[in-house]
């Protein structure tokens, strides 16, 4: 595994969603088949085997693919994340397609491993009001666990999700599908874990409603900074995809901001600055900029792993609504989505303060920064040639901008 700084492209994230969904469905369907064959007709034993294998697989898969794609494996999670700014809407269709394709691949693999046809329609009836209510409850609970942990205990997400699904297998009458891609794919296996194709639409509708309800509740319980009506810009924001939270920086964050910034200076790919800063200088700058030009920090497991800040673009009154920004991520967190979380949060809080545009200059060699800016809705305006010298060498700068939504 490479520790080199990187930001995962859409292609890599979709591959992760496909592979993760495939292994998840292989675990669900395969353990269902194995459990039923070994249980000797005891449905409780078969369900227990199915439950334990699914829960264990979820922990492993979320830990494995979470840092790459967010480990959604679920269209409801993807839609919820996009609705709260954690995933670009342009990426949603790709995620859903990857999850669905992966789910069918996993079902096919499970069927083949146990000597069954690749696909064969399930006859397992799962219909009626009780089943639909179960799917609403199961999906509401799943999204509640994801939102709650991502907001307040991000490191706990893999274990919490797996624990919840393990429990929901037993306390819901439907055995907690809670996932449209899983539901659709399981209709193609006439085994213990299957569902009759005719019952799929009702399940999917209940799941979507449950996901929306949980997302709305947590939007109120844990407001996102910069959103109107959230009671202040210092509230935490959750990035459900990466288990990262963002908030406005305080003077107490100065040592962490300084260390990350000095790493950026030393790397020579992010700034023309060459002289390291001190924590005292950064603390004074935070005070000087105040609430008009706030800095955002992002945390993972309670530690600051990135930050983004901005300042005036020009002194003229015509540019009063334009700011120029910078974003930096700790070396150990450059593959975690921290940069995107910081940049998204910065755009939200500056939109709240009435700014209409945010711009930056990026070295062409800084491919990771250019990629994360593109995902956050920035467009390339052009290139400044020979814009400045760094360590005696001319460097170009790519100019990027994003119009801020103040509505």
The predicted-structure confidence for 45-78, as pLDDT tens digits, reads as follows 999 999 999 999 999 999 999 888 889 999 999 9
Of 3.30.200.20, 3.40.190.10, 3.40.50.2000, 3.40.630.30, the CATH number of 237-403 is 3.40.630.30
pLDDT of residue 29: 98
Average per-residue pLDDT in the chain? 90
The predicted-structure confidence for 337-354, as pLDDT tens digits, reads as follows 899 999 999 999 999 999
34 close to 46: Cβ distance less than 8 angstroms: no
Q: How much of the chain is helix, strand and coil, in % rounded to 5?
A: 55, 15, 30
CA angle 115, 127, 32 (to 5 degrees): 25
The pTM score is: 0.61
Domains 10-221 and 237-403 share a fold: no
Q: What is the mean pLDDT of residues 78-96?
A: 87
The predicted-structure confidence for 285-302, as pLDDT tens digits, reads as follows 999 999 899 999 999 877
Of 1.20.1080.10, 3.30.450.20, 3.40.50.150, 3.40.50.2300, the CATH number of 10-221 is 1.20.1080.10
Contacts 24+ apart (CB under 8 A), 53-57: 53/27, 53/28, 54/24, 54/27, 54/28, 54/165, 54/166, 54/169, 55/162, 55/163, 55/165, 55/166, 56/27, 56/162, 57/23, 57/24, 57/27, 57/28
pLDDT band at 238 (very low <50, low <70, confident <90, very high): very low
- What is d(CA 29, CA 334) in angstroms, rounded to the nearest whole number? 36
Q: Give 73 or 332, the one with higher predicted confidence.
A: 73
Contacts of 18 (CB under 8 A, 6+ apart): 98, 99, 101, 102, 105
Domain ranges of the chain: 10-221, 237-403
Give the CA count within 13 Å in the CB-facing half-sphere of 306.
Answer: 27
What is the percentage of the chain residues whose pLDDT exceeds 70?
92
């Amino acid at each position: 595994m490479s520790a080199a700084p990187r930001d995962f492209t859409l292609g890599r994230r979709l591959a992760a969603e496909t592979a993760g969904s495939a292994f998840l469905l292989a675990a669900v369907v395969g353990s269902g088949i194995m459990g039923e064959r070994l249980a000797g007709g005891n449905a409780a034993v078969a369900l227990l085997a199915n439950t334990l294998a699914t829960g264990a697989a979820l922990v492993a898969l979320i830990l494995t693919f979470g840092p790459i794609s967010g480990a959604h494996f679920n269209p409801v999670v993807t839609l919820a994340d996009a609705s709260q700014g954690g995933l670009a809407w342009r990426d949603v269709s790709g995620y859903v397609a990857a999850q669905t394709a992966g789910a069918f691949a996993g079902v096919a693999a499970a069927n083949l491993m146990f000597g069954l046809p690749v696909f064969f329609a399930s006859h397992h009836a799962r219909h009626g009001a009780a089943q639909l209510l179960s799917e609403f409850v199961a999906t509401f609970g799943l999204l509640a666990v994801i939102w709650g942990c991502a907001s307040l205990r991000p490191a706990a997400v893999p274990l919490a999700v797996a624990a919840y699904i393990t429990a929901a297998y037993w306390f819901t009458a439907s055995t907690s599908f809670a996932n449209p891609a899983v539901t659709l794919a399981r209709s193609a296996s006439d085994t213990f874990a299957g569902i009759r194709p005719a019952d799929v639409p009702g399940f999917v509708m209940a799941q979507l409603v449950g996901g929306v309800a949980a997302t709305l509740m947590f939007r109120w319980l844990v407001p996102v900074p910069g959103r109107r009506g959230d009671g202040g810009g210092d509230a935490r924001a959750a990035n459900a995809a990466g288990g990262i939270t963002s908030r406005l920086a305080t003077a107490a964050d100065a040592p962490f901001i300084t260390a990350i910034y000095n790493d950026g200076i030393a790397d020579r790919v992010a700034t023309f600055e060459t002289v390291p800063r001190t924590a005292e200088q950064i603390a004074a700058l935070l005070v000087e900029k105040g609430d008009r030009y706030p800095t955002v920090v992002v945390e993972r497991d309670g530690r600051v792993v990135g930050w983004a800040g901005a300042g005036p673009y020009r002194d003229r009154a015509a540019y009063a609504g334009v700011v120029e920004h910078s974003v930096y991520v700790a070396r150990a967190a450059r593959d975690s989505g921290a940069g995107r979380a910081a940049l998204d949060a910065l755009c939200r809080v500056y939109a709240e303060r009435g700014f209409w545009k945010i711009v930056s200059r990026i070295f062409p060699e800084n491919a990771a920064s250019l990629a994360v800016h593109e995902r956050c809705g920035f467009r390339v305006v052009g290139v400044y040639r020979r814009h400045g010298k760094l360590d005696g060498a001319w460097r170009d700068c790519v100019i990027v901008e994003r119009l801020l939504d103040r509505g």
